[in-house]
Structure 1
Amino acid sequence: MNKSLIATAIGAALSVSSGACLAAAPADWSQISAMDVTLFYPGVSPVEWVTKGVEHGGARALKKGERCADCHSEEAADIGQLIVSGEKNEPNPPAGKAPAINAKVQATHDGENLYLRFTWQQPAASGGAKMDETNPVKIAYMLEDGNKVELAEQGGCWGSCHMGVRTMPEGDAQKTKYVKGGSLADGVFFDLNQWRSGENKAYDGYVAEQRVMEGGTALQGAEGKNDNGNWSVVFTRKFAGGEGDVSLAAGKVYNFGFAIHDDSSDGRYHHVSLGLTLGIDAEADINAKAQ
Structure 2
Amino acid sequence: MKTSALALTLATLCVGTASAADPATIDWSKVPAVTVPMFYPGQSSYEWLRSPAHKGGDKRVAAGRSCVSCHDEEGAEKDLGATLVKAGRLEPSPVAGKNGHVDLAVQAAYDTRNAYLRFQWKTANPYPGIEHPYLRFDGKEWKVHGYPKLDKVVQDGKQPGIYEDRMSVMIDDGKVPNFAQQGCWLTCHEGERDMPGQTGKEEAAANSLLAAIKKNDVRKYLPSTRTDPADWRTGKSLDEIAKIKAEGGFVDLIQWRAHRSHAVGMADDGYVLEYRNFDQGKNMFGSNADAKTHAPKFMWDEKKVGYKSITTDQLRKGDHFLIPEQNAVPFDPNAGWKEGDMIPDYFVSRQNAKDSAADNNAIASWKDGMWTVVLIRPLGLANADDKSLKDGGIYNVGFAVHDDNITTRGHHVSFVRTLGLGVAADIQAVRLP
Aligned CA RMSD, in angstroms, stands at: 2.2
1:56, 1:107 → 2: CA distance? 37
Query: Partners of 2:52 and 2:112 in 1: how far apart?
Result: 44
SS at match of 1:234: strand
The answer to whether the Cα contact below 8 Å between 2:36 and 2:104 also exists between their aligned partners in 1 is: yes
- The one-letter code matched in structure 1 to 2:122 is Q
Deviation at 1:59, TM superposition (A): 2.9
Within 5 Å, give how 1:258-277 maps onto structure 2.
258-277=399-418
Alpha carbons 2:188, 2:221 under 8 Å: kept: yes
Q: Which has the higher helix share?
A: 2
Question: How far apart in 1 are the matches of 2:177 and 2:194?
Answer: 21
Matched, 1:137 2:150: no
Superposed displacement of residue 251, structure 1 = 2.2
- Counterpart Cα distance in 1 of 2:426 and 2:106: 10
Q: How does 1:155-170 map to 2 (within 5 A)?
A: 155-170=182-197
How far apart are the structure 2 equivalents of 1:85 and 1:42?
A: 11
Q: Which residues of 2 match residues 1-16 of structure 1 at below 5 A? A: 13-16=1-4
Deviation at 1:33, TM superposition (A): 0.4
* Residues 34, 104 of structure 1: 8 Å contact kept: yes
User: What is the aligned counterpart of 2:221 among 178, 195, 201?
Assistant: 178
Q: Is it true that 1:198 corresponds to 2:259 in the alignment?
A: yes
What is the identity percentage for the equivalent residue pairs of Structure 1 and Structure 2? 37
Q: Aligned partners of 2:189, 2:359: CA distance in 1, in Å?
A: 26
TM-score, scaled relative to structure 2: 0.59
- Check conservation: 2:64, 2:178, Cα contact below 8 A: no
Q: Can you list the C-alpha shifts for 1:185-238, whole angstroms capped at 9, x where unaligned?
A: 221111011111122252111111111133335833111110121110000001
Aligned pair in 2 of structure 1 residues 253, 53: CA closer, same or farther (>3 Å)? Answer: farther
Offset from partner CA, 1:127-170 (integer Å, 9 cap, x none): xx851866431111010112x32320112222111112122131
- Over 3 Å counting, the alpha-carbon distance change for 1:150 and 1:70 in structure 2 is same
How many residue pairs end up in the alignment?
Answer: 275
**Pair 1:217–1:203, CA change in 2 (3 A):** closer
Whether the 8 Å CA contact 1:40–1:100 is kept in 2: the answer is yes
CA shift at 1:279, angstroms? 1.1
| Larger mean Cα displacement after TM superposition, 277-286 or 209-218 | 209-218
Is the alpha carbon distance of 1:55 and 1:68 closer, same or farther for their aligned partners in structure 2, counting shifts above 3 Å?
closer
Asked if 1:150 corresponds to 2:177, the answer is yes
Return 5+ residue gaps in structure 1 as ranges.
1-12
AA aligned to 1:289 is V
Work out the CA distance in 2 between the residues paired with 1:267 and 1:122: 17
Q: Is the 8 A contact 1:141 1:193 kept in 2?
A: yes
Query: Residue 186 of structure 1 aligns to which amino acid in structure 2?
Result: E
2:307 matched residue in structure 1: none
Structure-2 separation of matches of 1:134 and 1:190: 29
Gaps (5+ residues) in structure 2?
Answer: 16-21, 127-145, 150-160, 201-216, 226-243, 281-355
* Partner residue, 1:10: none
- Counterparts of 1:35-50 in structure 2 under 5 Å? 35-50=34-49
Per the TM alignment, residue 275 of structure 1 is displaced from its structure 2 partner at its CA by 1.1
